[in-house]
Amino acid sequence: MWLRKQRNVLWLVLALLVGCAGPAGPSSQRTDVPDGMRQTTSAKRVTAAIAGESPGFAPGESIPGDDALHALANAGLVVIDDHGEPLAQLAEAVPTLENGLWKVFPDGHMELTWKMRADARWQDGAPFIADDLVFTTTVGQDSDLPSYGHEAYRSVERIQASDPRTLTIQWKDPYIFANHMFSHVFASPLPRHILENTYVENKESFTELPYWSSEYVGTGPFQVREWVLGSHVVLTAFDDFALGRPKIDEIDVRFISDTTTLAANILAGSVELTLGRALDLDKAIQVRDQWRDGTMDIGFKSWIAIFPQFVNPNPPIIADVRFRRALLHAIDRQQLADTIQGGLVPVAHSYLNPSEPEYREIEGSIVRYDYDVRKAGQMIEALGLAKGPDGTFRDSTGEHLSVEIRTIGVTAEKAILAVTDFWQRAGIATQPVTIPAARTRDTEYRATFPGFQIFQNPNDINGLLRLHSSNAPLPENNFRVTGNHSRYLIPEFDALIEKLFATIPRQERVQVLGQVVHHISDQLNVMGLYYGVEPAMITNRLQQAGARKVQTSVQSWNAHEWELSS
């Protein structure tokens, strides 16, 4: 059997850990709480955990769950909800073509006008004003601070604060997510009154300031009260949050790197919520099945996909789309999804997963390849190959048809073994290769694989930019550009991606998206297997919280609405 269900046999150890696992962070009995929380018996507290130590709020290095932690402490003009739609947060309204705050001109230039809420405040009491966002853009466009940058900044031509609450942005190119600016997606607001002097006078130390951890000041529903490196961060409700004071008074976020210890803390009741991908799916399911006081919620996170080589593939038949289609028919992807992902996800027939808001509108554009090993064999035979006495395909000269498939790390380890088994049973000699650690930074080796690679890769709409030929690792860019792992260099496909990101009206844009999704599923420049899962463990007493449902959202997008049941 190609794959056995793996169950962690260390649960005896885990049971022992549960018996002795104490709180991994600060005690819930505090004497140094704010005045508004002196009644310790009535204060509402939640203990959350991230699987690893957060480096702080500065952009750059991060771990899963950092985005949720950041969104707890810092709000933007908009927030992306769990349906992928932008909602006004510190802005009075989200700019749209319909409300006139988003204008598109015949030459492709755009203008967005933002009106900011009068009651928006930084957590030190300073007003949140348009000049803060001008400063944020200045930092984001500074080549000396690349970690604050975003590809969309290249299209921002001019930004102007006409008054403290009104901001106008001129865009030199169309960009479909322009109204996501100044959110957790990009350009998360920075306080000019705190950071400008350091930026002007000592830029080299900008990212080293204690501001980015223990002295952080944001605009979000919770503010940092305590940050202990390697241990935890304590967040308390911000009374003056623009959307109203949070219903929860305090959130302790603990940094627990060892997943077995984290699982023990969940079962012991010491951790009530996980942020980000804190547990792998197997362990999360095991906790779910034993945790009477909570449950597991899931959202889709990227997809597991096969990237075929398009530059000098070996064997050359890989470049023939008919062969790639046969290979996909030869894989029982439903079995992969059921076994590897616990039956929690569907087959990845489409680049876009079913939880994304546009999926239903583009579903009819998807080309599907159901499991049919007999059909796969017939398709390969139609290409002039025949099975030899050993059951493997050979060409007219008697040469074996043999392909190599690579992966890196453990994310797709189960998938590569399963795919290898399916292809071999279909008569295709297949050699699985796990890229050794010593070669993970060898960009040329990584780019010039002969046959196929399996990765977990982003598959939201923004991720389509990664598939553009400008992101293919080639000799002329020293193999350092990545995303287009297949090195698929087709002008027709590039043009579709460019058109998608330049089409602002939603109905027209979805039509182009359907064409992009059809091209991928028809030409199989990326061959989807199944969708990844991001499980979240949530105590039963915590209401309105859930896993991240779409990739452009963040798990804590509605944290001010979280509530504890009595």
**Averaged pLDDT for residues 486-492:** 97
Per residue in 390-422, pLDDT (tens digit) is 999 998 888 899 999 999 866 678 899 999 999
Helix (H) or strand (E) holding 237: strand 232-237
Q: Residue 482: what pLDDT?
A: 84
| Same domain as 366, residue 289 | no
CB proximity list for 10: less than 8 A, separation 6 or greater: 260
Which of 208, 231, 258 terminates a domain? The answer is: 208
Band of pLDDT at residue 151, cut at 50, 70 and 90? confident
- Read off the pLDDT of residues 65-116 as tens digits, 9 standing for 90 and up: 999 999 999 999 999 999 889 999 999 999 999 999 999 999 989 999 999 9
Task: Encode pLDDT of 213-263 as tens digits.
Answer: 999 999 999 999 999 988 999 999 999 999 999 999 999 999 999 999 999
Query: Does residue 491 contact residue 499 with C-beta atoms inside 8 Å?
Result: no
Q: What percent of the chain has pLDDT over 70?
A: 92
Residue 6 lies in a domain: no
Q: Check whether residue 515 and residue 549 sit in a common domain.
A: no
Q: How far apart are CA 245 and CA 249, in angstroms?
A: 9
Residue 89 makes CB contacts below 8 A (sequence gap 6+) with 75, 76, 77, 78, 79, 183, 242, 243
CA-to-CA distance for 50 and 63, rounded, in angstroms? 8
Q: Judge whether 55 lies within some domain.
A: yes
> Percentages helix, strand, coil for the chain, rounded to the nearest 5?
35, 20, 45
CA dist 557 and 553 (Å) reads 7
Residues 279 and 404 in one domain: no
- My answer on whether 335 and 266 are in the same domain is no
> Do the domain assignments include residue 5?
no
Which residues lie closer than 8 Å to 499 by C-beta, 6 or more apart? Answer: 512
Mean pLDDT, the chain, as a whole number? Answer: 91
Going by C-alpha positions, the residue among 273, 384, 211 that lies closest to residue 46 is 273
What would the pLDDT profile of 301-329 be if each residue is shown by its tens digit?
889 999 999 999 999 999 999 999 999 99
- Which three-class secondary structure state does DSSP give residue 456? strand
Domain contains 421: yes
Q: Do 454 and 331 fall into the same domain?
A: yes
CA 156 to CA 152: how far, in whole Å? 7
Is there a single domain that holds both residue 342 and residue 352? yes
Query: Total structural domains in the chain?
Result: 3
Would you give the distance in Å from CA 565 to the centre of its chain? Answer: 30
Residue 59, classed as helix, strand or coil, is coil
**CATH number for 563:** 3.40.190.10
Tell me whether residue 350 is in a domain.
Answer: yes
Same domain, 278 and 129: no
pLDDT value, residue 225:
96
Please state the rounded mean pLDDT for residues 198-204.
95
57 and 197 co-located in one domain: no
Structural domain harbouring 472: 300-533
32 lies in some domain: no
**167: CATH:** 3.90.76.10
Q: Is residue 487 part of a domain?
A: yes
Give pLDDT tens digits for 532-561.
999 999 999 999 999 998 888 999 999 999
Of the candidates 113, 111, 115, the one whose C-alpha atom is nearest the C-alpha of residue 175 is 111
| pLDDT score for 223 | 97
Percent of the chain, pLDDT > 90?
81
Domain boundary residue among 175, 208, 241?
Answer: 208
Provide the 10 A C-beta neighbour count for residue 411: 17
| Confidence at residue 62, expressed as pLDDT on a 0 to 100 scale | 83
Q: Average of pLDDT values for 290-304?
A: 93
Residues 6+ positions from 536 with CB-CB distance below 8 Å? 273, 274, 275, 278, 296, 297, 298, 299, 545, 546, 547, 548, 555
Query: What pLDDT is stored for residue 412 in this prediction?
Result: 79
State the Cα–Cα distance between residues 419 and 391, nearest whole angstrom.
17
Q: What is the pLDDT of residue 410?
A: 65
Residue pLDDT, tens place only, 339-371: 999 999 999 999 999 988 899 999 999 999 999
Q: Are residues 456 and 322 in the same domain?
A: yes
DSSP 8-state secondary structure symbol assigned to residue 436 = P
CB 547 within 8 A of CB 298: yes
382 and 526 inside one domain:
yes
User: Are 70 and 82 contained in the same domain?
Assistant: no
121 occurs within a structural domain: yes
Residues 462 and 336 placed together within one structural domain of the fold: yes
